[in-house]
Chains A and B, each alone.
Chain A
Amino acid sequence: METQAFQKIYTKIDQITKATCSLRAKGIGYDELAYIGDRLAQVVKIIGDLVTLQVFGGTEGIPTNAEVTFLGKAPTLKVGDDLAGRFFNAYGDPIDGGPAVQGKEVEIGGPSVNPVQRKKPSNMIFTGIAGIDMNNSLVTGQKIPFFADPDQPYNVVMAMVALRAKADKIILGGMGLTNDDYLFYKNVFDNAGALDRIISFVNTTDDPPVERLLIPDMALTAAEYFAVEKNETVLVLLTDMTLFADALAIVSNRMDQIPSKDSMPGSLYSDLARIYEKAVQLPSGGSITIIAVTTLSGGDITHAIPDNTGYITEGQLYLRRDTDIAKVIVDPFRSLSRLKQNVIGKDTRSDHAQVMNAAIRLYAEAANAKTKLENGFDLTDFDERSLNFAKEYSNDLLAIDVNIGAIEMLDLTWKLFARYFTSQEVGIKKEFVDKYWPKKD
């Protein structure tokens, strides 16, 4: 970064901590960026003429006489159509060897949408994964995370959802991605020939953790450009938000703030909400949908990070290994899409809600039968049939490798109903049974 002629250079740093530097300077704006040597930093506190800077790359090796120049602006991103197909770091600089993006420079982390200007989200996103489309339908403008243990294939599922969703742009915000996962995304998108609709902002595990704090805002600023100015349907993938929250905790700790639950900063809820609430259905037709990953430790959802996330997002998706079929499935019990009511039966078929509920109820019957079996009780004929139904339902519909259309998935479920149950046992409204119950083969 070349310095501009009129810029004042400071060369005396008063205090250095692990994450911050303080120096005496005048006329500095709050949130403003500065370079300390070649490291980017941001103003987080000003008391009189003492300015405290948070150094994204860490303060290791910074001397007290380092050159400090203030940029006179908050972090920005140059937005334009050229963003498409490119890979950037947390500062919005290209990391794919390509040229810098030309475009309008906008501050990241901008204002929120006026709630009365929002539209009710009501367009379904079809993913082909029946475990999502049937039981937890996603809607444009929704925000929903995967709650997953680190060993689960959430990145695979997310990449699949992104590619199948008919989004105009897919924006990946990678926080603390391992280099392997970063290359995975790159390859998947490349192989699918979808690179021209993908924009990536990536902070890998090689990069300093505090840099991650910029990733969601960068990704969402790019998203807002395409959704607001181009009226496009934008899908934003954020992985992994737990590592983002960890970075928040590091910063607040180094700034001597009092931690609240689970060593997280007291502002965690607002910090996460500020990001997730960028998901929006705009009146002009554009939309931002956020699918995120929150990794859990040992499946504990009462930890502050998943807990606060659950209060903010519109549902959550769980993956689970089903040992009966040796596949990973979308857990129908714990997963929930709060906005599915807006589209079920409207963007699909009118029997959708009834079929969904009946199948889950029967799947639950199978779970009860399984417990009975494990406890050494005898199974009834109904129990046996539910167990068989559950196995096929799990394999043909819930497994993450399923890729079928919405009508097909409903018809398939009807077939399974008829194979194992009578229509009374399934308990669906008569008008639908008359219409869709398969005729005896």
Chain B
Amino acid sequence: MTKGLVAGIISNLVIVEVDGPVSQNEICYIKIGDTKLMAEIIKIMGSKAYVQVFESTRNLRIGASVEFTGHMLEATLGPGILSKNFDGLQNDLDKMKDVFLKRGEYTNPLEDDKLWHFKPLAKVGELVEAGSWLGEVTENWIPHKIMVPFKFEGKYTIKEISAEGQYTIHDPIAKVVDNNGKAQNITMVQKWPVKVAIRAYKAKPRPFRMMETGIRCIDSLNPIVEGGTGFTPGPFGTGKTVLQHALSKHAEADMIIVAACGERANEVVEIFTEFPELEDPRTGRKLMERTTIIANTSNMPVAAREASVYTAMTIAEYYRSMGLKILMLADSTSRWAQALREMSNRMEELPGQDAYPMDLPAIISNFYSRAGFVYLPNGATGSITFIGAVSPAGGNLKEPVTESTKKVARCFYALSQQRADSKRYPAVDPIDSYSKYLEYDEFIEYINENVSKQWIDQIHYVRNLLIRGKEASEQINILGDDGVPIEYHIRYWKSEVFDYVILQQDAFDKIDSSTPIGRQKFMMEIIIRIIKRDYDFDSFEDVSKYFRSVINILKQMNYSEFKSDEFIKFEAELEEILTKRKVAEPA
């Protein structure tokens, strides 16, 4: 292997004089005393390799020896990833016993001697390729497929496959031969370079299946799909993290991967403490059983922060190849971009806008493109839905990270300061936000068959209502309450009904925090019925009073168990108010 000597140090950028061939993004270890610091090549100039060190370089000296590994930064893939807490380089944080992180301490992401109950799925003589399912083990409750390693090229024939039984991840479970008769053993564990997309799928069509998130302002207004992409930009204090946590709790996915990338450690601690306790209503199991956390909080080394989102995406792709629905969340991709900026700055590259590297848009779009819905070679489907939080500097959406992300992500959930200030949570702006999937014919067809034929029309109808409500409210503010026709007040309050009852949702209430699609449909229909009615009022004061009482009952319904006695009681009460009001029935 190539070796080298440290020739220069500028913070975590180290220049290494190398004695042989090296490749871009190759991993190396720098020796400092008894420990070794992991680093990645980011630039090569002649015999000098510029490496970014994933740790502090304090006390590192010129002349320190460096060993190159011949491979890029790799994720270790195998059973045992689920429920783990990793750092950005996939070190198992729970295996580190000290309170403080120790420089140069790298821990095994999996367990070498744990026995897994393996069941073969393939038979001797079958023709297989990278990603083909050979067998499965049960990991928590997920049928974890053991696959032909993604690094295998071409077709192979299975020569031997192990019988059902207990094996460790390093025991060979199959032997395959390639066209030239060369035999290779396959174990349950494989490695894959995190910056390279796993492409062991047959086709990647446009996504079309709706992904239920339980969050009404998404499902009932700007739905996202299995394999879709979205992002949530917002100034601080607008509830980005609460929204990401809500998604990770309630979204209809087989597995959740949370990349806590350069954010507050206490927020991750909240997941660590809550998820092992909270129940997933769909499976009755603990939320932690379907979750893997990649925690590279803001005080952890910057270069590892950049790696963390790639590590998370690679794990997502691995599980997608098993035919699972993955939801990946990253909070926040701005911190990742800032990590890129710091390195670019140290390398004295010519900067782009706001000192970000020139290729930032390309890096972002390349990353988002790794999400998606796929057909696997055996006909099964799998998906990675990716939602990234963006923290725009100064809350200004015209900054490079937000703009670059807007070009690639198909759903835009803008968190608004104004809504947050008036405590309308989740503070997703219903008018600025959009979902491009509403234009997909495949998606419309799917909704028509699986939700209802009216659903898409209803979404367009309420969006229009919200815009008209906003216009009316602006007119009222300019001209005064009695300076506009009562009709304006009615229009405004109709949009408020939708706002209060559908858009606003209490993330901390047991029942309101998640609404299944059936219930969303039910409420949507009630509200559209209320909105479509004509009303007759004597004064604008009556309008707000009346609609406030309507909203109050509808909110009580939101807080009650669906179709429970209480719920039905409120429904009846609502009906009473609605009929009592002198309504001129629509012609």
Contact = CB atoms under 8 A, between A and B. Distances in A.
A274 to B, nearest CB: 5
Contacts of A28: 61-62
Contact of A257 (B8, B302, B345, B508): B345
Interface in A94-129: 107, 110-121
B190 interface: no
Contacts of A282: 99
A116 B86 CA distance: 10
Contact of B354 (A30, A48, A261, A273): A261
A258 B61 contact: no
A196 interface: no
Contact of B62 (A26, A31, A265): A26
Contact of A260 (B96, B264, B354, B508): B354
A121 B93 CA distance: 20
Interface stretch (A148-156, A173-181, A203-211, A301-309): A301-309
Contact of B58 (A29, A261, A308): A29
Nearest to B7: A48
A372 to B, nearest CB: 10
A30 B99 contact: no
A314 B262 CA distance: 14
Interface size class of B (residues with CB under 8 A): 35 or more
A46 interface: yes
A48 B265 CA distance: 37
Contacts of A117: 98-99
B335 A114 contact: no
Given A257-B345, A314-B264, A269 B8 contact: no
B295 interface: yes
A281 B103 CA distance: 22
B531 to A, nearest CB: 25
B15 interface: yes
A284 B100 CA distance: 13
B60 A29 contact: yes
B53 to A, nearest CB: 10
A312 B264 contact: yes
Contacts of B320: none
B58 A270 contact: no
Contacts of B298: 269-270, 273-274, 277, 312
A8 B500 CA distance: 73
B42 interface: no
B59 interface: yes
Contact of A30 (B59, B272, B508): B59
B237 interface: yes
Nearest to B60: A30
Contact of A141 (B93, B100, B266): B266
A73 B335 CA distance: 31
B15 A47 contact: yes
Contacts of B480: 377
Interface string B45-63: 0000000000011111111
B495 to A, nearest CB: 20
Contacts of B295: 115-116
Interface stretch (B123-131, B223-231, B387-395, B436-444): B387-395
Interface size class of A (residues with CB under 8 A): 35 or more
A339 interface: yes
Contacts of A48: 7-8, 62
Contacts of B85: 115-116
Contacts of B302: 267, 270
A121 B272 CA distance: 13
Given A112-B101, A120-B266, A336-B237, A258 B59 contact: no
A110 B11 CA distance: 15
Nearest to B298: A273
A27 B61 contact: yes
Which of A111, A121, A141, A333 has its CB near the most chain B CB atoms (within 10 A)?
A111
A310 B392 CA distance: 12
Contacts of A63: none
Contact of B8 (A46, A73, A120): A46
A310 B9 contact: no
Contacts of A26: 62
Nearest to A228: B99
A47 B393 contact: no
A258 B351 contact: yes
B9 A30 contact: yes
A112 B100 contact: yes
B355 A120 contact: no
Interface in B334-382: 335, 338-339, 341-342, 345, 351, 354-356
A113 B61 contact: no
B503 interface: no
B94 interface: yes
Interface in B195-247: 235-237
Contacts of A44: 10-11
A115 B86 CA distance: 10
B481 to A, nearest CB: 9
Interface of B: 7-11, 15, 56-63, 85, 93-94, 96, 98-103, 235-237, 262, 264-266, 268-270, 272-273, 295, 297-300, 302, 335, 338-339, 341-342, 345, 351, 354-356, 391, 393-396, 421, 480, 508
15 contacts: A27-B62, A27-B63, A30-B9, A44-B10, A111-B102, A114-B98, A114-B100, A116-B96, A118-B265, A118-B272, A259-B355, A267-B342, A269-B298, A310-B235, A315-B237
Interface of A: 26-32, 44-49, 73-74, 107, 110-121, 141-142, 228, 257-261, 265-267, 269-270, 273-274, 277-278, 280, 282-284, 302-304, 307-308, 310-312, 314-315, 333, 336, 339, 341, 377
